[in-house]
């Protein structure tokens, strides 16, 4: 299907654009190549949220991993290119400095034997921050995610924190790198709805205040409705429909999109 709409005339300051073109991801089964993602093209701009939505197994997480070259073992990107502001780049070179990422399961993403400050130091060093600067940057990042009020937070170990706090801490680490883009793969799946709502509020605020470009991968049309400016719907490894989120909700074209929306509305009905 058609890729999400081409960029509008550029208002100053010009947004940065991260573009994935015709990505293809394959695995091998019984000696033959089996495509898991086919011809995935999408574009992420700073200051705006793109949602990659689909049922489980639709390939949305793999498409996202292909963008950053973080595919799981046994799968590989066999076609497509990634460009930043129109210049082709190696996906691996984007990670950290240009694109920060937030993962689904915060608990397994942290080293259980190291404190939040230790993790921040590591991330800061990778981003080229010096020690004193790193400490200040960490405090600022923790404050930005709503963990700034409690002075004990930097010295906490992951097991001492709730899932919601850990997800905030992970977003804080992502902010430390000062990357213009943030990729979040199912960032609220392991959280309860209250924690989810707060994390989504936080992400929306970061996009608004810092002009981040956010790519969020989700199976929940509620998350899409809350956050996304543009949406790409995936099914069976392909982007089947894409475009402005409001238009998509108003006039879904494809059966896959309609199924997702029908279930979403069935659950959202009787909203008080």
Partner 1 sequence: MTARPTPSLLSTRDLGKAYAGTGWRRGTPRTVLAGIELAVAAEECVALIGRSGSGKSTLARLLLGLERPDAGAVRFRGQDLAGLDRAGQRRFRAAVQMVLQDPLSAVNPRHDIGRIVAEPLRHLTDLPAAERVARVGAMLSLVGLDPASSGRLPGQLSGGQVQRVGLARALATRPALVVLDEAVSNLDAPLQVEILDRLAALRRQQGTAFLLVTHDVRLARRFADRVLVLEGGRIVDAAPCRPRLDLTHPAARALVDAVLPAYPEGAR
Partner 2 sequence: MTTSGSLRAARPGLGPLAVPGALAVAILLLTLLGPLAAPHDPLAVDLTARFEPSSLTHPLGTDHLGRDILSRLIAGARTTLGAVAAALALVVALGLGVGAVAGMLGGRTDAVLMRLCDVFLTVPTFVLALFLIGAFGTGLVNVIAAIALSHWAWYARIVRGLVLELKTRDYVLAARIAGAAPPTIFVEHVLTGVLPPLVALATLDIGHMALHVAGLSFLGLGVQPPTPEWGVMINEARAFFWTRPLLVVWPGLAIALAVLAFNRLGDALRDRLDPTLVAERGL
247 binds partner 1 (CB under 8 A): yes
**Cα–Cα distance for residue pair 250/158, rounded to 1 Å:** 42
> Which among 44-52, 57-65, 176-184, 198-206 is the span making contact with partner 2, rule CB under 8 A?
57-65
State the binding partner of 247 from partner 1, partner 2, none, CB within 5 to 8 A by kind.
partner 1
State the binding partner of 246 from partner 2, partner 1, none, CB within 5 to 8 A by kind.
partner 1
Footprint (CB under 8 A) of partner 2, residues 11-50 = 27-30, 34, 36
Which string of b and e fits 146-165 if b means at least 16 CB within 10 Å? bbeeeeebbebebeebebbb
Phi, psi (degrees; rounded to nearest 5) at 196 = -60, -45
**Cα–Cα distance for residue pair 162/3, rounded to 1 Å:** 39
Sequence-separated (6 or more) residues with CB below 8 Å from residue 14: none
In terms of CB distance, is 36 or 200 closer to partner 1?
Answer: 200
159 binds partner 2 (CB under 8 A): no
Selection from 264, 152, 166, 174 nearest residue 218 by Cα:
264
Footprint (CB under 8 A) of partner 1, residues 3-62 = 55-57
Selection from 172, 185, 178, 121 nearest residue 145 by Cα:
172
Minimum CB distance to partner 1, residue 194 (Å) = 4
In terms of CB distance, is 25 or 182 closer to partner 2?
Answer: 25
Minimum CB distance to partner 1, residue 195 (Å) = 7
In eight-state DSSP terms, residue 269 is T
Selection from 6, 8, 3 nearest residue 23 by Cα:
3
In terms of CB distance, is 120 or 165 closer to partner 1?
Answer: 165
Minimum CB distance to partner 1, residue 49 (Å) = 11
78 binds partner 2 (CB under 8 A): no
**Cα–Cα distance for residue pair 259/234, rounded to 1 Å:** 12
70 binds partner 2 (CB under 8 A): no
112 binds partner 2 (CB under 8 A): no
> Which among 36-44, 64-72, 127-135, 220-228 is the span making contact with partner 1, rule CB under 8 A?
220-228
For the chain, the residue count is 272
113 binds partner 1 (CB under 8 A): no
3-class DSSP state of 199: helix
Return the residue of 39, 55, 75, 229 that touches partner 2, per CB under 8 A.
75
Structure token pair of residue 148: 């700034």
In eight-state DSSP terms, residue 6 is P
State the binding partner of 204 from partner 2, partner 1, none, CB within 5 to 8 A by kind.
none
Selection from 4, 16, 10, 12 nearest residue 213 by Cα:
16
Which residues sit at the interface with partner 1, rule CB under 8 A?
A: 55-57, 162-163, 189, 191-197, 200, 219-226, 228, 245-247, 249-250, 259-260, 262-272
Which residues sit at the interface with partner 2, rule CB under 8 A?
A: 27-30, 34, 36, 57, 61-62, 72-75
């Amino acid at each position: 299907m058609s890729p999400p709409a081409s960029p509008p005339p550029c208002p100053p300051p010009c947004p940065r654009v991260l573009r994935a073109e015709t990505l293809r991801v394959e695995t091998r089964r019984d000696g033959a190549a089996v495509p898991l993602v086919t011809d995935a093209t999408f574009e992420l701009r700073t200051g705006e949220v793109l949602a990659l939505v689909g049922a489980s197994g639709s390939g949305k997480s793999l498409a996202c991993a292909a963008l950053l070259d973080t595919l799981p073992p046994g799968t590989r990107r066999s076609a497509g290119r990634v460009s930043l502001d129109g210049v082709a780049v190696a996906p691996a070179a984007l990670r950290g400095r240009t694109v920060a990422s937030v993962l689904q399961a915060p608990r397994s993403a942290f080293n259980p034997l190291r404190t939040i400050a230790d993790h921040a130091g590591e991330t800061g060093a990778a981003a080229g921050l010096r020690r004193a600067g790193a400490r200040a940057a960490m405090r600022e990042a923790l404050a930005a995610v709503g963990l700034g009020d409690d002075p004990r937070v930097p010295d906490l170990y992951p097991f001492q924190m709730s899932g919601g706090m850990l997800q905030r801490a992970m977003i804080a680490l992502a902010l430390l790198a000062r990357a213009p883009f943030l990729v979040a793969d199912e960032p609220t799946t392991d959280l309860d709805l209250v924690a989810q709502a707060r994390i989504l509020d936080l992400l929306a605020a970061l996009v608004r205040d810092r002009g981040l470009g956010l790519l969020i991968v989700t199976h929940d049309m509620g998350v899409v409705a809350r956050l996304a400016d543009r949406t790409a719907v995936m099914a069976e490894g392909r982007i089947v429909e894409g475009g402005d989120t409001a238009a998509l909700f108003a006039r879904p074209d494809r059966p896959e999109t309609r199924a997702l929306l029908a279930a979403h509305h069935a659950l959202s009905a009787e909203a008080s």
